[in-house]
Structure 1
Amino acid sequence: MIPRRGLLSSRELDAAGIRGAALRESYRRCRAINAEHGKTYYLATLLLPAAKRPFVHALYGFARHADDLVDQTPGLSPAERTEVVTRWTDELLADLDWGETSDPVGRAVLDTVARWAIPRDYLVDFVTAMRADLCVTSYETYADLEKYMWGSAAVIGLQMLPILGRRDETVRWDVLEPYAIALGTAFQLTNFVRDVGEDLRRGRVYLPQDSLQRFGVDVERLRRGIVDESIRNLVAWEIERARGLYAQAAPGIALVDPTSRDCLRTAFTLYSDILTEIEAADYDVFHGRVAVGTARRAEVGARGLARAVAARHRR
């Protein structure tokens, strides 16, 4: 049975060896963040063995909390928001070096990083990308955007690797890393394509400027929100770029631990389905957020759950 959304059971915490009331509450908070904001990611995480789930929730909760500080802290001027984000990230990195924190989200993150020996540099690179969102509003080329996505997405894939585990000891970690980078970047680019309208309202354009120029589109044309042939061609171009990343990532799924594969397969399928839904919406990425339907998510999740349970029994 899949646990109810937002409820991190004592069984999962016990299975993961998480002790102490404050630490357990921090993991529960991260789970709630994942359940509220990361519907596809959350569903996929529930297909992992109970002992792995809390750590994935912690990584997601950290990433989402940082993103919300950048984008959704109400009533603050840009300067005040910059100060809040800078102070929070500085304190988190200092706490990471110290090994302790009082931050209710950071406590689970520090515990996860320590348990799985996740390199500090990955968190530093993520924090650097989040700070870039405070001042960078566009990217001239895809190569420029890739540098940003390294910190905002690729390192998250790398953070996940030790938790997901390898198929066996013959699979080297450095062989797995390019697949994790490609998949994390594919997820991020999918979000950028879907959220063009939402990002515009925040004053940002993540689609590379050289892509806009290729199809005769400028920011003002995006702001008008009229889906004409040039807009369709632009969005289709970025959809194909994202699909190329999914194709690069796909062979890596077979190389992770069998009990983790269906988590990846489910996220892979449902995120790539977003691209299909954008096409079905005639490339309208301005009026409402394109989403995969509940029936499709239930279908993919049910298939993944059946395979995940079978993998655990075999293990």
Structure 2
Amino acid sequence: MSPGLLDTAYQDCRRIAAAHGRTYFLATRLLAAPRRPAVHALYAFARLVDDLVDDAGQVTADHGAAGELDLIEKRLRTALEQGPATVSDTPVLFALTDTITRYDIAPQHFWTFLDSMRMDIPGSAHYRDRYADLAELREYMRGSAAAIGLQLLPVLGTVVPRAEAEPAAAALGEAFQLTNFLRDVAEDLDRGRVYLPAEDLTAFGVDRELLAHCRRTGRTDQRVRRALAHLIAVNRDIYRRADPGIDLLDPRVRPAIRTASVLYAGILTEIERRDYAVFESRAVVGVPKRLRVAATQLVLR
């Protein structure tokens, strides 16, 4: 394996993380330099798959988006069995395979992730465009979010046996994912999906048709405001359950993970501050606050 080729692959992953994961990338900057490439590789892989799924209607390959995911899984399995060189023509997979091997990450977390991504592809046998209740949504998030936390855990390191830190790591991934769903209601509707549990929405008189109306008008109905307020409270409870797990991590990585957690939870506060105007524009935490939170964690390090 050429070290230069692998370095280039990791640099490609870094560029993807910098371009698309602003909060994630800022938090990664607080990690020790040797850990950063692996985190970038994990992010870049998730992004590669996510973009493929989101653009499923644009995929022109004969086997479609579902077939592309199958091919990615097959190539990754082969690389893990035969060595990273078998995917050296695909920088993200090249760097990812090296990361999995280097940090002894359980491959099952990647198969679980890909299974959830198949649930997003129209025409797939696993496809779902709505979730009846939080339990169903959590089954999706087991792969789309919890698995990401479990992939990261070996890279971050722990002060306890890894298994003890896994529940909190999975919960933090779930907390981040639910925040994305609350922020991106409008964008998800445009893709024909609703990632908010129908049972909770129905309790406040909200259905898919009302959400579609809000999207068309750009205005948030009062019933939707109440539903979002409830789900934000649910989301914050997941953050609270995940938070003690940060102290189980290697002390050197805690500032980065706390920064990511504070900033992602800050999106919920921003949604509230904007009176739940999620159909008008995307809620983001501004650059000054992101830098302020990061600086605070550096001081407390």
For normalisation by structure 1, the TM-score amounts to 0.87
Please tell me the residue identity of whatever aligns with 2:82. W
Which residue of structure 1 aligns with residue 83 of structure 2? 99
Deviates more, 1:94-103 or 1:37-46: 94-103
Contact 1:126 1:155 in 2 (8 A): yes
Across the aligned residues of Structure 1 and Structure 2, the Cα RMSD in angstroms comes to: 1.8
Q: Does 1:163 align with 2:146?
A: no
State how far apart, in whole Å, the 2-side matches of 1:200 and 1:113 are.
Answer: 34
Which residue of structure 2 aligns with residue 173 of structure 1? 162
Contact 1:122 1:155 in 2 (8 A): yes
Deviations 1:132-187 (A, max 9, x none): 110221111111111110111101111111111123xxx22222111101101000
Contact 1:86 1:131 in 2 (8 A): no
Shift of 1:77: 6.4
Q: 2:16 aligns with which of 6, 29, 33?
A: 33
Which residue of structure 1 aligns with residue 210 of structure 2? 221
State how far apart, in whole Å, the 1-side matches of 2:206 and 2:102 are.
Answer: 48
Q: Is the partner of 2:31 in helix, strand or coil? A: coil
Shift of 1:256: 1.0
Which residue of structure 1 aligns with residue 295 of structure 2? 302
Which residue of structure 1 aligns with residue 124 of structure 2? none
Shift of 1:72: 3.0
Please tell me the residue identity of whatever aligns with 2:158. R
State how far apart, in whole Å, the 1-side matches of 2:246 and 2:132 are.
Answer: 32
Q: 1:263 aligns with which of 241, 256, 267?
A: 256
State how far apart, in whole Å, the 2-side matches of 1:165 and 1:142 are.
Answer: 30
Q: Is the partner of 1:105 in helix, strand or coil? A: helix
Please tell me the residue identity of whatever aligns with 1:124. W
For normalisation by structure 2, the TM-score amounts to 0.91
Contact 2:270 2:283 in 1 (8 A): yes
**Structure 2 stretches lacking a partner, 5+ long:** 122-126
State how far apart, in whole Å, the 2-side matches of 1:172 and 1:86 are.
Answer: 33
Q: Does 1:206 align with 2:206?
A: no
Alpha carbons of structure 1 residues 92 and 277: separation in structure 2 relative to 1, 3 Å = same
State how far apart, in whole Å, the 2-side matches of 1:97 and 1:203 are.
Answer: 37
Deviates more, 1:220-229 or 1:18-27: 18-27
Shift of 1:255: 1.7
Quick one: percent identity of the two aligned structures?
A: 46
Q: 2:32 aligns with which of 34, 49, 53?
A: 49
Which residue of structure 1 aligns with residue 242 of structure 2? 249
Which residue of structure 2 aligns with residue 22 of structure 1? 5
Alpha carbons of structure 1 residues 242 and 19: separation in structure 2 relative to 1, 3 Å = farther
Shift of 1:228: 1.9
**Structure 1 stretches lacking a partner, 5+ long:** 1-17, 309-315
Alpha carbons of structure 1 residues 19 and 296: separation in structure 2 relative to 1, 3 Å = farther
Q: How many residues align?
A: 288
Alpha carbons of structure 1 residues 303 and 230: separation in structure 2 relative to 1, 3 Å = same
Q: Does 1:280 align with 2:280?
A: no
Q: 1:190 aligns with which of 179, 182, 189?
A: 179
State how far apart, in whole Å, the 2-side matches of 1:77 and 1:235 are.
Answer: 37
Please tell me the residue identity of whatever aligns with 1:143. A
State how far apart, in whole Å, the 1-side matches of 2:36 and 2:2 are.
Answer: 15
